[in-house]
């Protein structure tokens, strides 16, 4: 009787596990069928030349769908600063693409928002589309208060398309006139500083332990 009851209980327990596992499998398939929300493209500041500064996606150009795409790029904590009092009364922004196929010239480039350190649009800056010349470079003009600099950490491009092309990649974005703060350490330098601080801390711990020990052993 005891063995029979135990066997029945085990069978019920096993069937329960099968139901639970089946439920998880269905849930997993359902989740896999739902496309994930597009994450911002992790980018970095390449550098500045002749009064203009450029940022590009980590790992090289990023493919977009020429039939319709949006872009959101973020290079924080690195920053590009739009310089105060730009000549001509506005700043310039160039979004560079590369493509294959024949361009019809009937492309549509969406509105752009520039992002602050928190990834939010900077309301006081108005970005207006100018033209696409040459074909792979979308030119924008940035308007806003000219008596102050603006720190830019990324941008959002609304629905756009590249009419007629077969493939299309986002390559980089540049701003003029702009600069990069000289007092902001490079990422590699920050990493070295962190390693140095860790090594110093470990050495202090070793000295403290040695002092509490025999007294004769010392750490140089």
Would the pLDDT of 192 be above 70? no
Q: Can you state the percent helix, strand and coil of the chain, rounding each to 5? A: 30, 40, 35
Would the pLDDT of 212 be above 50? yes
Residue 203: both structure tokens together: 């050495």
Alpha-carbon torsion, ordered 6, 11, 15, 20, to 10 deg: 40
**Cβ–Cβ under 8 Å, residues 60 and 43:** no
Average pLDDT of span 41-49: 96
Q: Is the pTM of this model over 0.75?
A: no
| Residues in Cβ contact with 28 at an 8 Å cutoff, skipping those fewer than 6 apart | none
Per residue in 69-121, pLDDT tens?
Answer: 999 999 999 999 999 999 899 999 999 999 888 877 777 889 999 999 999 99
Instruction: Tell me, letter by letter, the H, E, C secondary structure of 137-160.
Output: EEEEEEECCCCCCEEECEEEEEEE
**Exposed, middle or buried, 160 (CB in 10 Å: 0-12/13-18/19+)?**
buried
**Exposed, middle or buried, 180 (CB in 10 Å: 0-12/13-18/19+)?**
middle
Handedness of CA 23, 24, 25, 28 (dihedral sign): positive
Q: How many helices (H) and strands (E) does the chain have?
A: 2, 13
């Amino acid at each position: 009787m005891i063995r029979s009851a135990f066997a029945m209980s085990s069978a019920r327990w096993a069937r329960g596990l099968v139901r639970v596992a089946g439920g998880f499998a269905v849930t997993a398939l359902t989740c896999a069928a739902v496309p994930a929300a597009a994450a911002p493209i992790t980018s970095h500041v390449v550098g500045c030349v002749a009064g203009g500064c450029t940022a590009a996606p980590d790992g090289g150009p990023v493919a977009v769908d020429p039939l319709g795409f949006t872009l959101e790029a973020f290079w924080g904590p690195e920053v590009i600063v739009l310089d105060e009092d730009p000549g001509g009364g506005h700043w310039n922004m160039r979004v560079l693409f590369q493509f294959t196929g024949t361009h019809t010239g009937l492309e549509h480039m969406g509105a752009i928002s520039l992002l602050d350190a928190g990834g939010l649009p900077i309301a006081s800056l108005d970005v207006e589309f100018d033209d696409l010349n040459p074909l792979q470079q979308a030119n924008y003009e940035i308007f806003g208060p000219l008596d102050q600099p603006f720190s830019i950490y990324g941008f959002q491009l609304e629905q756009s398309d590249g009419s007629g092309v077969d493939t299309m990649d986002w390559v980089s974005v540049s701003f003029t006139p702009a600069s990069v703060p000289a007092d902001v350490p490079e990422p590699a330098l920050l990493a070295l500083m962190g390693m140095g601080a860790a090594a110093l801390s470990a050495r202090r711990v070793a000295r403290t332990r040695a002092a509490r020990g025999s007294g004769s052993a010392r750490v140089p």
